[in-house]
Structure 1
């Protein structure tokens, strides 16, 4: 029996490793279905059938994406092609500026091109084959996610009922409550990220156009999307490319773009993000930062992206089910009081705690009065 258990465990472990991509797609589909559920539920409450409501919501999202691509696609592709063509000249301008400003000699572009051809020339065929297989895999993953999302959303209460039918009534209440909390947190998180990405793209686009930076649309889209959907370091990655392109024109424009990115990040952190994400994720910023690092280290990029809604769900569940106790009376739990328990007199008008008065002893020395 021990040998059989070991063999079954090894086979199960290997099967889980082979099914990692499928599990990832299922997790993505689950979170997308949770994000779409509020809109579908709104249509169902207005006498729509769930299947039709699911089709309309998913179709509307698809048409919105297609419309965005049709609206900006031509200009985006054109600017990306021009950006690719201008890379050699951009590198040459940076090389000249580095030589004149700091005396640093960067390799010539012909030498770099030769090294790239030598390094990649033998792998062109295999790279093309890999790109083709990756494209097919991406299309298959998108179709898988779309089908799972549709079935999860179309099933709705039936899917939850199928899960709860295996549980005792008391556990059913708990599972449904957890499901509702997760749905609210995930939906709020994704929607807040989309709104913040739109705002970041719009403000960045306007600033780049005013400054006269070429390829402003793809740069603004890159900055907005990466800054919101790449955890922890997305802001720095998203802002690096516009700064680099501006540096090819002039150092002052690069400095202006850098200042804009830093200033806008502060405005987003202290004005936009608190107002948009306040109800979605009520979490200490330091805790959120550590959670993103931890989930990213354990589960990779997907874990880092889903870290905040998962952590917010856990926090909401803990605040609901864990018992809270009354606080003891201690100076450590109050502001403006010494840590050793001595109490001064506080003026409620200015909020300043006065130091205890000093009484003179017989020998002329002073000592604080007893608290």
Structure 2
């Protein structure tokens, strides 16, 4: 046995053990790493406001605390307003449920010539095995729901704490990062950091502006239809549709439709039509213009980045995918060498004269010339019919 073989086997086993330990630790810390990633992008979003306050003489820690206090107050006010609205609507729906049920039963009896009764339906529901099992499962799942709520609150506090430290100690963090890099690399890191701040802030600015426009448009509709809690519903639609990717539009439109249904079922249909029409207006007219001015990313690239982010990190990946891709695109764009574009018509989507083979075949069947003007001139020259052909006396 060679003398190096035992040492190589021990080294290989040690490497395998280190890989397994690192993989286990990474899986255990995945939740914490995702929270840190969210906190970092949140810190980038508030960086412009904090830096502006610090530039006017306020301490950076106090400026960061003031910005986060404003964010917490706005979020808590939105949740409180929405919760009170939902509580009132749920009470009204429970009180009016017998009336809705009577109207539905009357429509069924008239349409299908049946003899259903609300008392019989209520008795069958109360004594059904499905309802009893559902109540038992709901009672046993109260503790699970409570644990999920507490876990969500702890996660929010963790994200806010890391975001506060990232924003308040931003200069110190940049100095610590640059201290381990050579001067040339330091400039690149600082440039990437600045681009990330601009793109993240631009993304949130565009989303906030679209949320404002969406909220105002839906508020006008809710007031016109005399739907209760119109301001709260408008804020709900604007925020949820813009800051929850992919499914945010459907979640935002479901609640106004439900409340409109309690007023008049036809109002729910009008709300659905308006939500669909406005979504098309936003996707094809409003969003491309605002995205081009703030994030400067193609709509197809934005959609693909959201899909990729959702596949990698779920809802978190969908939320941070667009600013991350915009930052990467802007940073790498400085290293791509660009040239002047030729004046060839094909660059602008125009085909060269002469057409495809099928068009040439049609011309041949009609007895017309099938070549390009250059080919026709060459053919005329060969046949002696062009200006280049002629006798020697003519050329003299």
TM-score (structure 1 length as normaliser): 0.80
1:76 aligns with 2:85: yes
Note closer, same or farther for the CA distance 1:75–1:124 as it changes in structure 2 (3 Å cut): closer
Residue equivalent to 1:130: 144
Residue equivalent to 2:52: 42
Match for 2:369 among 347, 367, 370? 367
Note closer, same or farther for the CA distance 1:240–1:96 as it changes in structure 2 (3 Å cut): farther
Match for 2:253 among 239, 262, 272? 239
Note closer, same or farther for the CA distance 1:8–1:89 as it changes in structure 2 (3 Å cut): farther
Q: CA deviation at 1:277?
A: 3.4
Asked whether the 8 Å contact 2:310–2:316 carries over to 1, the reply is yes
Q: CA deviation at 1:333?
A: 0.9
1:52 aligns with 2:62: yes
CA distance in 2, matches of 1:92, 1:101: 14
Residue equivalent to 2:272: 258
SS in 2 for 1:279: helix
Match for 1:206 among 194, 207, 220? 220
Note closer, same or farther for the CA distance 1:125–1:366 as it changes in structure 2 (3 Å cut): closer
Asked whether the 8 Å contact 1:80–1:218 carries over to 2, the reply is no
The within-5 A match list for 1:221-240 is 221-240=235-254
1:24-82: CA deviation from partner (whole Å, max 9, x where unpaired): 21111111110110001101111222122212222233334445556x36742543433
SS in 2 for 1:307: helix
Q: CA deviation at 1:145?
A: 1.6
1:31 aligns with 2:41: yes
More divergent stretch after superposition (162-171 vs 77-86): 77-86
CA distance in 2, matches of 1:2, 1:98: 76
Q: CA deviation at 1:127?
A: 1.5
Note closer, same or farther for the CA distance 1:83–1:179 as it changes in structure 2 (3 Å cut): farther
Asked whether the 8 Å contact 2:82–2:232 carries over to 1, the reply is no
Q: CA deviation at 1:141?
A: 1.6
Unaligned runs of 5+ in 2: 1-10, 375-396
Residue equivalent to 1:290: 304
Note closer, same or farther for the CA distance 1:342–1:25 as it changes in structure 2 (3 Å cut): same
SS in 2 for 1:175: helix
Aligned residue pair count: 354
Asked whether the 8 Å contact 2:93–2:262 carries over to 1, the reply is no
SS in 2 for 1:367: coil
1:144-190: CA deviation from partner (whole Å, max 9, x where unpaired): 12221111111111101101111111111111111111111111112
1:178 aligns with 2:180: no
CA distance in 2, matches of 1:51, 1:66: 22
1:312-352: CA deviation from partner (whole Å, max 9, x where unpaired): 112212222222234455442124x32xx3289xxxxxxxx
CA distance in 1, matches of 2:97, 2:200: 43
Note closer, same or farther for the CA distance 1:111–1:228 as it changes in structure 2 (3 Å cut): farther
1:150 aligns with 2:164: yes
Unaligned runs of 5+ in 1: 345-354
CA distance in 2, matches of 1:12, 1:244: 49
SS in 2 for 1:321: coil
Note closer, same or farther for the CA distance 1:84–1:331 as it changes in structure 2 (3 Å cut): same
